[in-house]
């Protein structure tokens, strides 16, 4: 099953609203086929695993391990549970049930009714963690939110700046950390920053230090302060702007009208409707504080560098102890998880 998880993670950032799924076929304690869900709309993991078996005559005497319950409905592809039955496999081992309403136990029921032996719950907790974005999106009906910021040793995320100052960021973390952030960008559906971050740092919010798809760019511009020459408004990448004033943009930019009563919960609802499964929030401090205050966050990744600013913009604070801690030379990374959010 851990090999299923390893395969499934290869699809991170490519499956859109679909879950990460890996499948392994075993005959006489030997792997004879394996596959994973490569991209949204493409063949599912079970299909790729079955296709990879060189001797199909072994299938009726083999076990297929699936990180997620095989689907039972016709969507972009035919049902995998029916294919497993048709190919003569007699035993199926599953980590997690699929909470998607069209599946949600129906795939396992079909296999059991067809006479197959089905074992469920194998490494269930590990499977839940791997697919935490998908499970959260289905169960809570909002994207999985990851907060990310870098802070100095004395707890600041930026210098004090004058209005209109567009000097760009002063890097607090090291080169390894910045490359890791670009990897993270490639793994999430979208990336979000606040108006002040666009004005002061003018970020492109794309994947440049890593291979992979660029996430959908999102910003909130309630008072229409975004400069017209901002990189995020270049129209070259999918971008969503939540704006108070009604403005017209060109290229791949979509505007969502956000009146004064528009709250972060409304933003999350809009992104859910647009099938945005996960959002990496990169700043600034005000936006991070909004997520922390409302509780609409699930994970926080905080870099702490060695430099000190002595004064400036205070970093957000999370009172809980970190769930994980890593070190990259002189930069420390702490990972926090929202204890109030529990997956079933």
The residues annotated with a catalytic role in the active site are: 46
Sheet with 278-283, edge to edge strand ranges: 253-257, 239-243, 216-221, 190-194, 278-283, 144-151, 299-304, 331-337, 324-328
- CA 230 to CA 95: how far, in whole Å? 45
- CA 215 to CA 238: how far, in whole Å? 8
Q: Which residues fall within 8 angstroms of residue 91, CB to CB, at 6 or more apart?
A: 62, 63, 64, 116, 117, 118, 119
Contact yes or no for 123/86 (Cβ under 8 A): no
What secondary structure does DSSP assign to 92-159, as a single string?
EEEEE---STTSTTHHHHHHHHTT-EEEE-TTHHHHHHHTHHHHHHHHHSS-EEEEEEEE-TTSEEE-
Contact yes or no for 25/64 (Cβ under 8 A): yes
What secondary structure does DSSP assign to 25-47, as a single string?
EEETTEEEEEEE--STTS--HHH
Q: Which residues fall within 8 angstroms of residue 113, CB to CB, at 6 or more apart?
A: none
Contact yes or no for 84/53 (Cβ under 8 A): no
Q: What is the DSSP letter of 20?
A: P
Residue 8: both structure tokens together:
């499934």
Scored b (16 or more CB within 10 A) or e, 153-189 reads eeebbbbeeeeeeeeeeeebbbeebbebbeebbbbbb
């Amino acid at each position: 099953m851990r090999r299923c998880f390893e395969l499934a993670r290869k699809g991170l950032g490519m499956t859109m609203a679909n879950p990460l799924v890996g499948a392994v076929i075993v005959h006489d304690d030997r792997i004879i086929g394996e596959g994973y869900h490569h991209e949204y709309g493409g063949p599912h993991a079970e299909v790729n695993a079955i296709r990879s078996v060189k001797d199909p005559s072994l299938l009726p005497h083999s076990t297929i391990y699936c990180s997620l319950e095989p689907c039972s409905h016709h969507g972009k592809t035919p049902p995998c549970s029916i294919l497993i039955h048709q190919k003569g496999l007699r035993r199926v081992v599953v980590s997690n049930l699929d909470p998607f309403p069209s599946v949600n136990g129906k795939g396992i029921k079909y296999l059991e009714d067809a006479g197959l032996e089905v074992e469920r719950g194998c490494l269930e907790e590990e499977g839940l963690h791997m697919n935490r974005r998908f499970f959260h999106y289905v169960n809570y009906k909002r994207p999985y939110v990851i907060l990310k910021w870098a802070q100095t040793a004395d707890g600041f995320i930026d210098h004090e700046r004058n209005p209109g100052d567009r000097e760009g960021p002063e890097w607090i973390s090291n080169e390894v950390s910045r490359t890791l952030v670009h990897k993270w960008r490639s793994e999430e559906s979208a990336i979000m920053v606040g108006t002040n971050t666009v004005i002061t740092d003018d970020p492109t919010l794309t994947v440049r230090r890593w291979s992979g798809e660029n996430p959908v760019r999102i910003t909130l511009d309630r008072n229409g302060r975004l400069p017209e020459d901002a990189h995020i408004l270049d129209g070259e990448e999918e971008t969503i702007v939540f704006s108070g004033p009604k403005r017209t943009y060109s290229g791949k930019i979509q505007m969502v009208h956000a009146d004064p009563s528009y709250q972060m919960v409304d933003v999350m609802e809009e992104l859910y409707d647009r099938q945005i499964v996960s959002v990496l929030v990169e700043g600034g401090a005000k936006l991070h504080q909004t997520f922390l205050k409302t509780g609409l966050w699930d994970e926080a990744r905080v870099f702490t560098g060695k430099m000190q600013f002595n004064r400036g913009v205070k970093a957000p604070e999370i009172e809980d102890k970190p769930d994980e801690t890593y070190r990259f030379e002189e930069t420390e990374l702490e990972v926090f998880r929202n204890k109030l959010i529990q997956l079933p």
